[in-house]
């Protein structure tokens, strides 16, 4: 039976995600941004929390860990290199490893950049990217290097285009504005920017996205674009250096 995935907004701009295996009854929360919000959505679905899959240590991704574990005795899985910063962590995993959850194969990606030990989870053509990849954007480089962040993103470019991507935040409209500033001639980007603006005006979530959509419209996955290179004066740069220049520009973009 296919997984049931339920996404909901929480905090100011976070996404919560519950992943439910209908056969075993196991339910995982991808990160735990807000215990009350997770509890509310679990109750609405009639699910009981068995696991928390943690992508990184930032407070807005682990704040609910302690309360949720106290109530549900759930198993908290998270990055080995950030174990000391993940409240209640039980199972330590690292990039390149695989583990079984509810009979499903879970692949772990090493994604340093936003944080030094950030990881992502992939199962059955669904990627839980945390704060590494966003719709038309990527996370700020806070603890790692630009080169590390590029490698973290670059590994996703080879995933099947139909791969669903769940992200940690609703940043899509702002990301679209920046994307248009560096690739205004991209007609697919123009159409998507219009669509997500209309979605947000109606209060509709813009995620999940797909790898295919991101390859067409996300500048951070498009360093080979001649228009982007021309716009930022990076015609002879390596792909990694194009990414670095884009990320620096996004950091100060208004």
Q: Which residue has the tokens 């079984």?
A: 100
223-247: b or e for each residue (b if 16 or more CB lie within 10 Å)?
bebeebbebbebeeeeebebbbbbb
Q: Kindly report the length of the chain.
A: 254
Indicate yes or no: pTM above 0.85: yes
Q: Distance (Å, rounded) from C-alpha 235 to C-alpha 229?
A: 5
Q: What is the pLDDT along the chain (254 residues), one digit of tens a residue?
A: 899 999 999 999 999 999 999 999 999 999 999 999 999 999 999 999 999 999 999 999 999 999 999 999 999 999 999 999 999 999 999 999 999 999 999 999 999 999 999 999 999 999 999 999 999 999 999 999 999 999 999 999 999 999 999 999 999 999 999 999 999 999 999 999 999 999 999 999 999 999 999 999 999 999 999 999 999 999 999 999 999 999 999 999 98
Q: How high is the pLDDT of residue 254?
A: 85
Q: Find residue 193's DSSP bridge partners.
A: none
To 10 degrees, the CA torsion angle through 144, 146, 152, 153?
140
Q: In this structure, are residues 38 and 29 in contact, taking their beta carbons and an 8 Å threshold? A: yes
Question: Which of the 8 DSSP states describes residue 228?
Answer: H
Q: Distance (Å, rounded) from C-alpha 142 to C-alpha 207?
A: 24
Q: In this structure, are residues 65 and 88 in contact, taking their beta carbons and an 8 Å threshold? A: yes
Q: In this structure, are residues 16 and 7 in contact, taking their beta carbons and an 8 Å threshold? A: yes
Nearest-Å Rg of the Cα atoms of the chain is: 18
Question: Which of the 8 DSSP states describes residue 209?
Answer: E
Tell which residue, 153, 165, 152, 99, has the closest CA to residue 126.
165
Question: Which of the 8 DSSP states describes residue 74?
Answer: P
Residue 9: exposure state from Cβ atoms within 10 A (0-12, 13-18, ≥19): middle
Q: How high is the pLDDT of residue 204?
A: 97
């Amino acid at each position: 039976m296919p997984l049931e995935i339920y996404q909901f907004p929480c905090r100011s701009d976070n996404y919560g995600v519950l992943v439910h295996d209908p056969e075993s009854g196991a339910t995982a929360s991808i990160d735990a941004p807000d215990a009350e919000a997770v509890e509310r959505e679990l109750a609405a679905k009639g699910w009981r929390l068995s696991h928390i899959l943690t992508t990184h240590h930032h407070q807005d991704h682990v704040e609910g860990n302690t309360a949720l574990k106290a109530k549900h005795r759930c198993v908290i899985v998270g990055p080995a290199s950030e174990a000391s910063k993940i409240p209640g962590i039980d199972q330590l995993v690292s990039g390149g490893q695989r583990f079984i959850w509810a009979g499903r194969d879970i692949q772990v990606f090493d994604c340093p950049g936003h944080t030094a030990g950030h990881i992502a989870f992939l199962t059955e053509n669904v990627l839980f990217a945390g704060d590494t990849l966003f719709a038309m954007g990527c996370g700020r480089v806070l603890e790692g290097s630009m080169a590390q962040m590029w490698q973290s993103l670059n590994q996703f470019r080879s995933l099947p285009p139909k791969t669903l991507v769940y992200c940690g935040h609703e940043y899509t409209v702002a990301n679209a504005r920046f994307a248009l500033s560096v690739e205004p001639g991209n007609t697919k980007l123009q159409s998507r920017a219009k669509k997500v603006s209309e979605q947000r005006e109606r209060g509709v979530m813009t995620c999940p996205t797909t790898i295919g959509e991101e390859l067409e419209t996300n500048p951070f996955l498009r360093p080979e674009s001649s228009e982007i290179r021309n716009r930022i004066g990076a015609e002879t740069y390596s792909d990694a250096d194009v990414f670095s220049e884009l990320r620096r520009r996004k950091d100060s973009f208004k």
